Amino acid sequence: MKIKKLKPLLIKIFKKHGLNIEHSKISANALINAELVGAYGHGLSRLKMYCDRISKKVINPKPKIKIKKISQSISHIDANNSIGFVAADIAIKKAIDNAKKTGIGLVAVKNSGHYGLSGYYAEQAVKKNLITMIFTNAPPAIAPYGSLKSLFGTNPICFGTPTGSKIPFILDTSISMINRGKIRVAARNNQKIPEGVALDQFGNPTTDPKKALKGVQLPIAGFRGSGLAWMVDILSGVVTGAGHAGKVKDPFDDFSGPQNVGHLFIVFKSNLFEANFKKRIKNNISTIKRLPKIRSVPEILFPGENKFYRYKKNIKKNIIINQNIKNDIKKLIYN
Ligand SMILES: NC(=O)c1ccc[n+]([C@@H]2O[C@H](COP(=O)([O-])OP(=O)(O)OC[C@H]3O[C@@H](n4cnc5c(N)ncnc54)[C@H](O)[C@@H]3O)[C@@H](O)[C@H]2O)c1
């Protein structure tokens, strides 16, 4: 489907579910971006989930979002259970404003929901020539190292910096071997997941996405990944006032209340310490890119480069929508 046609359709669906026009546009843009960068687990496959949560009043379609100024640099946002896209949009813009005024912006968000891709917000800061680190927690999916029970989310870690070229450096990675969204997409499409990424509920390795969703996902790099997931839970859950230690609700399966996801946005000027940052980062990247390469790698890419090229290619094409999602869209518009 052409983006020109899809976008008004999504806006119409969100408006029908009670979001105002501005919030509907923000949400539609975030979903389309996820499709364009190839993050299908965070794109249209989640549309029905968001609408179901709004209908069941566990996402507040008319939130009264409060922004508390702690200092010129620091703000604390209570998102009042808004859709996560809206909370994150307000938060990154606030962090950018604070950073422009004082050099650094620090914004914590509580009572939010799933906001999609951290990199989407990081790009906004990097486009303004700022460096950023963004954290969000997520519902239990990963067992802390040594435990038999899932508690940490796939808790992505995101770092973005200008590169002196038009391609931003965006390291945006979940700490699980595989993104939970990808497992959900595989389950919906009856596909297998790779080996070594999940265990079933009895602790046995599995390639069945449905069994993986009932079991545990494995963290990257054993106890190191578990430690990183814990760090993200502290930064985005404990520090912000949001849910933490396994309290963030699963958006697909738990309608007993709002998710209470937390996010933390850190944004700062790239030239705070060295005026010639641009020259230094260009030099850093070109040094690494010129290294001798292993045979199977034609080019050393920096994080974010692959998504940038994917986006550029996909923006010229139609978005392919599978039958399950087409059915969702029809029902959400006409029912
Ligand atoms: N909101 C949430 O609750 C939540 C939870 C988990 C993940 N996410 C989002 O899901 C998205 C996908 O996460 P993921 O872990 O599957 O990402 P991924 O594995 O696709 O990519 C991870 C990082 O590696 C980089 N990369 C990939 N191939 C590369 C290569 N050949 N050379 C150099 N760098 C390369 C990417 O640019 C990216 O920065 C992220 O945007 C993340 O924010 C959101």
Question: What pLDDT score does 323 carry?
Answer: 93
The letter for the amino acid at 332 is L
Is 106 in a helix, a strand, or coil?
Answer: strand
Question: What pLDDT score does 335 carry?
Answer: 74
Question: What pLDDT score does 231 carry?
Answer: 98
The residues of the chain scoring below 70 in pLDDT are none
- Look at ligand 1, atom 24, and give the residue with the nearest C-alpha: 303
Question: What pLDDT score does 55 carry?
Answer: 97
Distances (CA, A) of 286 to 114, 163, 165, 279, 302: 36, 10, 11, 11, 10
By DSSP bridging, strand 130-136 and strand 74-78 are unpaired
**Residues whose CB falls within 8 Å of the CB of residue 24, separated by 6 or more in sequence, listed in order:** 10, 11, 12, 14, 15
The pair phi, psi for residue 25, each rounded to 5°, is: -65, -45
Ligand 1, pocket residues at CB < 6 Å: 39, 42, 114-119, 136, 138, 154, 156, 158, 170-174, 179, 301, 303-304, 306-307
Ligand 1 pocket: which of 179, 264, 285, 289 to mutate (most atoms <8 Å of CB)?
Answer: 179
Q: What is the largest CA-CA distance in the chain?
A: 58
**Cα(173) to centroid of ligand 1, in Å?**
4
**Residues whose CB falls within 8 Å of the CB of residue 232, separated by 6 or more in sequence, listed in order:** 135, 136, 137, 152, 153, 155, 156, 157, 175
What number does the ligand 1 atom closest to the CA of 175 have?
15
Question: What pLDDT score does 180 carry?
Answer: 85
- Look at ligand 1, atom 30, and give the residue with the nearest C-alpha: 301
- Measured CA to CA, the distance from residue 105 to residue 111 in angstroms comes to 20
Both tokens of residue 200? 């079933």
Q: Are 329 and 319 in contact (CB under 8 A)?
A: no
Convert the pLDDT of each residue in 175-232 to its tens digit.
999 988 889 989 999 999 999 999 998 889 999 999 999 999 999 998 999 999 999 9
By DSSP bridging, strand 130-136 and strand 104-112 are unpaired
Ligand 1 pocket: which of 306, 307, 308, 309 to mutate (most atoms <8 Å of CB)?
Answer: 306
- Measured CA to CA, the distance from residue 317 to residue 272 in angstroms comes to 40
Question: What pLDDT score does 149 carry?
Answer: 87
**Residues whose CB falls within 8 Å of the CB of residue 16, separated by 6 or more in sequence, listed in order:** 332, 333
Q: Is the pTM value of this prediction over 0.85?
A: yes
Q: Are 235 and 264 in contact (CB under 8 A)?
A: yes
Question: 11: how many CB neighbours lie within 10 A of its CB?
Answer: 19
- Measured CA to CA, the distance from residue 76 to residue 106 in angstroms comes to 9
- Look at ligand 1, atom 3, and give the residue with the nearest C-alpha: 138
- Look at ligand 1, atom 10, and give the residue with the nearest C-alpha: 117
Question: What pLDDT score does 130 carry?
Answer: 98
Burial of 55 (0-12, 13-18, 19+ CB in 10 A): middle
